[in-house]
């Protein structure tokens, strides 16, 4: 997500810094973003000169503090509250007062993330969707102490990136993850119960309800590890059993079959395409 967001910011005209704590990921960032720009140029979505200009605006920081002198930070580290609080607390020490901290969290409480900083009024949820360049929505999540000025800065920033916004109050899973995960988890339980195969469950929602992508493919695209983390947060925070992660989700994540990025989840993936049901999903379907 961080690469997608940084790529879009640089392409839009912002001077953009990326910092990743993993040296391997840090080395791979530029090539990965530039490859996505080249693909966009090939498809005629971006001009070659815009991609070239963006290249000069994108900088990779070796240390967090090298990237600190900015107006807006978007944190996109893994979905774990303590990690996000630690990263924002570090940023709080090195960024100037004017810097707004946006978190791309899919489900964690913005108010608790903000409490790790001395600038609770300038922390906000700015939730992008995958793939960042293609998905039109940004969900803006107001923490309890987020100021109206910060909210307007975040809304204006998201709109400047060509996105539409929805505004929601800080509550577990916000609007999108709560509804999206509810559908995804129910689809997984239906697969486990043998109601239908993975491809048929997805087709039911794509053709019957006009969803662009069915709930199991969507889970694969998001990353099953990310979905599991969200389900765990929701099941701890909401007084209901309905977000308890199904066994199949835990099993696939434990086996490293985390969806599209691993080449396998509920489906087998070749690049951007789901080419067949994954072996475990096919096995469950056979039990019907």
Ligand X SMILES: NC(=O)c1ccc[n+]([C@@H]2O[C@H](COP(=O)([O-])OP(=O)(O)OC[C@H]3O[C@@H](n4cnc5c(N)ncnc54)[C@H](O)[C@@H]3O)[C@@H](O)[C@H]2O)c1
The residues of the shown chain that bind ligand X, judged by CB under 6 A, are: 1-2, 19-22, 25, 76-79, 87, 104-106, 127-130, 222-223, 226
What SS3 class is residue 44?
Answer: coil
- The residue among 268, 261, 161 whose CA lies nearest residue 221 is 261
> What is the spatial distance between Cα 128 and Cα 181, in angstroms, rounded to a whole number?
16
Report, in Å, the least distance between residue 68 CB and ligand X. 13
Rounded CA-CA distance 168/114 in Å is 16
Residues shown for the chain: 288
Closer to ligand X by CB, 1 or 100: give it: 1
| The pair of three-digit structure tokens given for residue 72, joined into one six-digit string | 């807006």
CB of 182 to ligand X, least distance (A): 16
Peptide bond into 131 cis (omega under 30): yes
Identify the CA nearest to 23 among candidates 70, 60, 56: 60
Helix, strand or coil, per DSSP, at residue 266? coil
Please identify, using beta-carbon distances, which residue of 19 and 284 lies nearer to ligand X: 19
Place of tokens 């899919």: 106
Measured from the CB of residue 230, what is the shortest distance to ligand X in angstroms?
A: 7
Complex with ligand X: residue 37 or 174, whichever CB lies closer:
174
Could you give the 3-state DSSP secondary structure of residue 99? coil
CA–CA separation, 281 and 269 (whole Å): 13
Whose Cβ is closer to ligand X: residue 11's or residue 138's?
A: 138
Q: Which is nearer to ligand X, 223 or 246 (CB)?
A: 223
Nearer to ligand X, 135 or 207 (CB): 135
Rounded to a whole number of angstroms, the minimum distance from the CB of residue 247 to ligand X is 22
Phi, psi dihedral angles at 37 (to 5 degrees):
-65, -40
Are the CB atoms for 82 and 54 separated by under 8 Å? no
- Nearer CB in complex with ligand X: 51/74: 74
**H helix runs in the chain, sequence order:** 2-12, 23-42, 48-57, 81-94, 110-114, 148-160, 176-193, 198-209, 215-222, 224-237, 247-254, 279-286
Tell me the closest approach of the beta carbon of residue 209 to ligand X, in angstroms: 21
Q: Toward ligand X, which CB reaches closer, 9 or 284?
A: 9
Contact 8, 126 (CB under 8 A): no
Minimum separation from the CB atom of position 215 to ligand X (A): 14
């Amino acid at each position: 997500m961080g690469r997608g967001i940084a790529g879009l910011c640089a392409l839009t005209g912002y001077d953009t810094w990326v910092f990743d704590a993993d040296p391997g990921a840090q080395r791979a960032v530029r090539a990965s973003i530039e490859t996505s720009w080249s693909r966009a140029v090939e498809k005629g979505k971006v001009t070659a000169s815009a991609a070239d200009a963006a290249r000069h605006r994108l900088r990779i920081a070796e240390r967090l503090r090298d990237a600190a002198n900015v107006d807006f930070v978007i944190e996109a580290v893994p979905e774990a509250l303590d990690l996000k609080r630690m990263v924002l607390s570090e940023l709080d020490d090195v960024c100037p007062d004017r810097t707004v901290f946006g978190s791309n969290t899919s489900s964690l409480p913005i108010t608790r993330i903000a409490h790790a900083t001395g600038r609770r009024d300038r922390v906000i949820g700015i939730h992008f969707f995958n793939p960042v360049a293609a998905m039109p929505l940004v969900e803006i999540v107001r923490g309890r102490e987020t100021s109206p000025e910060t909210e307007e800065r975040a809304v204006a920033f998201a709109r400047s990136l060509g996105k539409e916004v929805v505004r929601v109050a800080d509550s577990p899973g916000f609007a999108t993850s709560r509804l999206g995960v509810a559908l995804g988890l129910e689809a997984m339980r239906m697969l486990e119960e043998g109601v239908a195969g993975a491809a048929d469950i997805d087709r039911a929602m794509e053709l019957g309800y006009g969803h662009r992508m069915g709930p199991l493919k969507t889970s694969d695209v998001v990353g099953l590890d990310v979905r599991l983390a969200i389900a765990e947060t929701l099941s701890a925070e909401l007084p209901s059993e309905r977000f308890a992660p199904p066994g199949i989700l835990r099993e696939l994540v434990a086996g490293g079959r985390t969806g599209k990025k691993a080449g396998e989840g509920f489906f087998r993936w070749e690049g951007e395409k789901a080419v067949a049901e994954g072996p475990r999903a096919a096995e469950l379907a056979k039990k019907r």
